[in-house]
């Protein structure tokens, strides 16, 4: 529960208190784990986040380790709050969940097409944390198609000013436009257990630069 430090003053009617909120009240709500940046409301300057548009070495090491807590934290730290356009409807913005991953466990022939491993939970604008519904979550593979969608979103002129703190780090080989939707769910996918947002990172690449 957030520690609210609002002041209560008397309004026009002495019997009706007026609550005056401080900026610190908003920063203590803990919404960052849901991909909600409260600094968009308060106007506070955001620290630059360098996002690498490619699969990093630690991702290759951990993507198939289902219950490896340090790996899960690193995935959530990198992708939580990152946005992209819905592959079927560019007017819809999808936001990566910063609290949970999904686990893809295919069977049969699907194992060759989409190997088991972690997936992102892409939250649609209709998603409600108080009443979560499966239809409001788009399970998304972490692959070149996703990186292209992310690149497309943050390079869009209408987003550059709002998300100027997101600095894209490009791969050596240019990304190719995807031919198929990002979220091609085949087989069984389950949510990973949520981790506390303050889970310590025993090791993590420096996110202060490319």
Lowest-pLDDT range, 24-38, 81-95, 146-160, 179-193?
A: 179-193
192 pLDDT exceeds 90? no
Note whether residue 126 is domain-resident: yes
CA 201 to chain centre: 17
Taking 3-state DSSP, the helix, strand and coil percentages for the chain, each rounded to the nearest 5, stand at 25, 25, 50
Using the predicted structure, report yes or no on whether residue 76 has a pLDDT greater than 60. yes
pTM over 0.85: no
**Is residue 42 a part of any domain in this protein?**
no
* Residue 204 resides in a domain: no
Assigned domain for 75 exists: yes
pLDDT in tens, 43-75: 566 789 999 999 999 999 999 999 999 999 999
Please report whether residue 206 resides in a domain. no
Q: Per-residue pLDDT averaged across 114-118, rounded?
A: 83
Domain count, the chain: 1
Note the pLDDT tens digit of each residue in 118-167. Answer: 999 999 999 999 999 999 999 999 999 999 999 999 999 999 999 999 99
Nearest to 63 by CA among 142, 137, 123: 142
List the domain range (segments joined by +) for residue 130: 47-191
Q: Is 105 part of any domain? A: yes
Is it the case that residue 183 has pLDDT exceeding 60? Answer: no
């Amino acid at each position: 529960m957030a520690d609210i430090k609002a002041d209560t003053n008397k309004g026009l009617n002495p019997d009706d208190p007026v609550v005056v909120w401080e900026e610190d009240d908003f920063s203590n709500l803990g919404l960052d784990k849901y991909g909600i940046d409260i600094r968009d409301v308060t106007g506070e300057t955001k620290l630059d986040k360098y996002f690498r548009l490619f699969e990093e070495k630690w991702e290759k090491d951990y993507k198939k380790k289902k219950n490896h807590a340090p790996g899960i934290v690193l995935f959530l730290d990198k992708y939580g709050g990152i946005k992209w356009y819905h592959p079927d409807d560019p007017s819809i913005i999808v936001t990566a969940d910063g609290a949970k991953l999904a686990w893809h466990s295919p069977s049969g022939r699907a194992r060759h097409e989409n190997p088991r491993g972690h997936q992102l939970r892409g939250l649609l604008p209709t998603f409600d944390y108080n009443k979560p519904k499966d239809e409001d979550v788009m399970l998304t593979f972490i692959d070149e198609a996703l990186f292209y969608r992310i690149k497309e979103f943050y390079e869009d002129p209408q987003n550059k000013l709002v998300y100027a703190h997101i600095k894209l780090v490009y791969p050596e080989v240019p990304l190719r436009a995807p031919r198929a939707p990002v979220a091609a769910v085949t087989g069984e996918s389950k949510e990973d257990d949520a981790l506390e947002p303050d889970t310590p990172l025993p090791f993590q690449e420096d996110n202060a630069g490319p």
